[in-house]
Chains A and B, each alone.
Chain A
Amino acid sequence: EPEVTQTPSHQVTQMGQEVILRCVPISNHLYFYWYRQILGQKVEFLVSFYNNEISEKSEIFDDQFSVERPDGSNFTLKIRSTKLEDSAMYFCATRLDSGANVLTFGAGSRLTVL
């Protein structure tokens, strides 16, 4: 069964450092998402991406965050200057097309900011 692959599985970084989380979507999927889950809390929408641009972003997705799909395969989430409160699990999810309603999630990338 096709999978969404995320790397790294776990990253530890110092506050103020830049972090890039990577996602390889299912090959024919067109819609991409990043979600965040702080430990013990709900899964929160960050951003959706379609046709090489952001479709929607939440209030969490401020200027410290950016997304891109530089090479047509990897879908990345960059956090420019990490804060302690960025420590969370970050999930990438993809969806086939506008007629599909099922998101396939990756296994997540756990980010720890010290």
Chain B
Amino acid sequence: AQTVTQSQPEMSVQEAETVTLSCTYDTSENNYYLFWYKQPPSRQMILVIRQEAYKQQNATENRFSVNFQKAAKSFSLKISDSQLGDTAMYFCAFFGNEKLTFGTGTRLTIIP
């Protein structure tokens, strides 16, 4: 079974700064996918970014990028030029065995 660990329950950062959220996972699979989801106060689950395990290049979506270290089973999310609208819960998730498994989340607060 796969597990996803987010070791930072809460983080805060000043607006316009850069913040990195950590995620590690454990799996015996070789072909899988990793995701970061954002959950604002509305509780909607919003896909932020995804990474295919077979790709060495780190995924990037505008201000969001990941640092994917397959051997270390690490998948961190970097948010550059953070904005007030980035305040939310962020969940790391692993897709394998036909389902998505979530970490416990990191509550990120952007301070004006």
Residue positions of A touching B, CB distance < 8 A: 31, 33, 35, 37, 41-45, 48, 55-56, 89, 91, 93, 98, 101-103, 105, 107-108, 110
* 8 A Cβ contacts from B85-110 to A: 91, 95, 97-105
Stretch from B19-27, B44-52, B61-69, B75-83 forming part of the interface with A: B44-52
- Count residues of chain B with CB under 8 A from any CB of chain A: 20
Q: Does B55 contact A (CB under 8 A)?
A: no
Q: Is the pair A56, B98 in contact by a Cβ cutoff of 8 Å?
A: yes
Chain A residues near B35 (CB, 8 Å)?
A: 102
Q: Is the pair A42, B44 in contact by a Cβ cutoff of 8 Å?
A: no
Question: How many contacts A-B (CB < 8 Å)?
Answer: 47
A62 to B102, CA, bound (A): 20
Chain A residues near B95 (CB, 8 Å)?
A: 101, 103
